[in-house]
Amino acid sequence: MNPSVRTQSVISGLRVSVVAAVLIMALLVQLQLFGVRYAFSLPGLIQMFVIWLLSLPATYFYIKSNLDKALILKVAAPLAIAVTAAGLLYTALTGELQGLELIVLGYLFEPIAGISIFLTLREFSPESYMFIVGAFAYTYGLPLYFFDFGYLAIIGDAVKLSGLLILIRRLSR
């Protein structure tokens, strides 16, 4: 791993990402069980808002980490945060499906932002492949919820979560 990378900041970002991944998993399962309409309920909106809030410290820690190809993260993460915020606000105010579509659009930038993390950690830990593959599977499985088939997103988030936990353990040694 590049010696200029700030390992503690990476670990902090990964820890925030683990908390988010667990909350995302709970939301994904609820969406699969109760349908997309759950996202418009107060509990669903609160869950999505808390997950969105976690993107702020995670992005801060990752930017502070001095990752390889950090420009990818510095462009994609703020785009994801901004578009997702607009989608959350639109969903909360109107209860219309376009808000959820904006949230999904915002999330398309998440695995792109994760490329910086992957490129930094891939030589150090082969488990970083689990993280990036899981992130892409989760993200690109999100639109399938509109067709009542969220299983790809759930599996992707589980793989991503497993990769994150392994990365934290490896980096903490």
Q: Classify residue 171 as exposed, middle or buried by CB count within 10 Å of its CB (0-12, 13-18, 19+).
A: middle
- In angstroms, the CA 117 to CA 63 distance is 10
- Structural domain spans, the chain: 7-171
DSSP letter string, 13-38 = HHHHHHHHHHHHHHHHHHHHHH-GGG
pLDDT in tens, the chain (173 residues): 677 789 999 999 999 999 999 999 999 999 999 999 999 999 999 999 999 999 999 999 999 999 999 999 999 999 999 999 999 999 999 999 999 999 999 999 999 999 999 999 998 888 889 999 999 999 999 999 999 899 999 999 999 999 999 999 999 98
CA separation for the pair 105, 51 (Å, rounded): 16
pLDDT at 1: 66
User: What was the pLDDT predicted at 127?
Assistant: 81
